[in-house]
Structure formats: C-alpha cells, structure tokens
Amino acid sequence: MYEYEWKCTWGSADPMGIAYYPRLIDANHQAGEEFMDEHGVAYWDIPDDLGIHLPLVAQGTEFKKPVEVADVLTITVTPELGNKSLRLEFEATHEDGAPAFEGYEQHVAVSIETDKSVELPDELREALSSDDE
C-alpha cells in the first residue's frame, strides 16, 4: 500500500467550494503516477524500459463524503496484478479518517511492437509486488 497526500485548492473547486469531481479523478491518477514512480516503474519510462504501454481501459470513482477547499486527503494506492493487466485501487480519506471516495484504474499491458495485449513483464510484476514482503 502506498500513501499520497492531496490538498483541494480553490482551482480544484466549484463556486460553492466543493471539489469539482474531475479534479478528484485527477488526484487518483496523480497518486497512481507517484506510486509507479516510487516503485521504479514510472509510466513515462515503461515503453523504453519494458517494451510495453499501459493504457487505461477503465476507471471509476464512488464518492462518499464531499471534499471542500483546503481539505487534505490521504489517497492510498493498492495494486492488483493480473496476467495482462494492472489495476490500481484508490481509497481517499479526510484528515479525520472519514472516507472521501474510492476508485480504480484498470490498465492493460500492450506490446509497443505488435500493439497486442501481452503478459505483464516480470520486472514490472516484481517492482509492484515489493510491498507484499
């Protein structure tokens, strides 16, 4: 599990001071990017280093409690590794521990040579499984 801190700024809110929902989805993606980079498999390096892309094929978010300007959330990222896919699960909580939202991103491994789905490379699997030990 990886933790990422995100603060709702005025630019991320609607006129009532409530976080605009696309910014929360962006926050999930930012948490996922930081998680990948922290584990040595930054999205931007994967094509050159591993010969694959990890396109996003699905995502979803379920909101639990409004997020307001100046709220600081902790977003946890938990990977689920399939044969040819990577799913990142997100759970966001307010500073008091109240749930803010849950979400996920589903990625599939695609060969840069054939443009077909392929098995997740062992190097990626090992890097993302390092927290399990």
**Entry pTM:** 0.92
Superfamily of segment(s) 2-132:
Hotdog Thioesterase (3.10.129.10)
Per the CB < 8 A criterion, the answer to whether 21 and 27 are in contact is no
Length of the chain (residues): 133
pLDDT for res 133: 41
- CA-based nearest residue to 35, from 73, 74, 6, 78: 78
Residue ranges of the chain with pLDDT lower than 70? 131-133
pLDDT for res 131: 59
Q: Which helix (H) or strand (E) holds 24?
A: helix 21-38
pLDDT for res 125: 95
Burial class (CB in 10 A: 0-12, 13-18, 19+), 125: middle
Angle at 17 between CA 11 and CA 21, to 5 degrees: 70
Matching residue, tokens 């930054």: 42
Q: Provide the residue ranges of all domains of the chain, joining segments of one domain with +.
A: 2-132
pLDDT for res 1: 80
